[in-house]
Amino acid sequence: MAKKRVADAPDGAPLAPSCVMIIFGAAGDLTKRLVVPALYNLVGAGRLPDEFRIVGLDLASKTTEEWRTGLTETMQGFVGSDAEFAVDHIDQNVWQWLTDRMSYLQGDLTNAEMYPPA
């Protein structure tokens, strides 16, 4: 029996399932230049469900708010640039939707204590 889709994106494509995305190396360059802009585009296209969440994990000592602020500054730097992700403006509603779902944890991904048994 086929599983029924819960919802479709505005363009008719299937909406991504609810999930939590964990980004290892969340304070790094790849996250800033490629991962977060791609997520921003998915939000703008209506492809992510309301239940979507992001947890950033990195060695860098930051709070969730500091991580969000740094990503916001990076995104604003793309406006009018010729970078991989170049835009003429950042849609504040889309960006707010995404940042509201972000959390940050400082930690070493190689440390088994970061992954306590459930």
Give this prediction's pTM: 0.84
pLDDT at 1 over 70: no
pLDDT at 64 over 90: yes
pLDDT at 3 over 80: no
pLDDT digits (tens, 9 = 90+) for 43-62: 999 999 999 999 999 999 99
Contact partners, residue 76, CB within 8 Å, separation at least 6: 90
pLDDT band of residue 92 (cuts 50, 70, 90) is very high
Tokens (6 digits) for 117: 């048994």
The Cα 118–Cα 102 span in angstroms is 22
pLDDT band of residue 89 (cuts 50, 70, 90) is confident
Classify residue 39 by burial, with Cβ atoms within 10 Å: 0-12, 13-18, 19+: buried
| Residue among 69, 82, 60, 62 at smallest CA distance from 36 | 69
- Give CA separation, 53 vs 47, 74, 110, in Å: 13, 20, 23
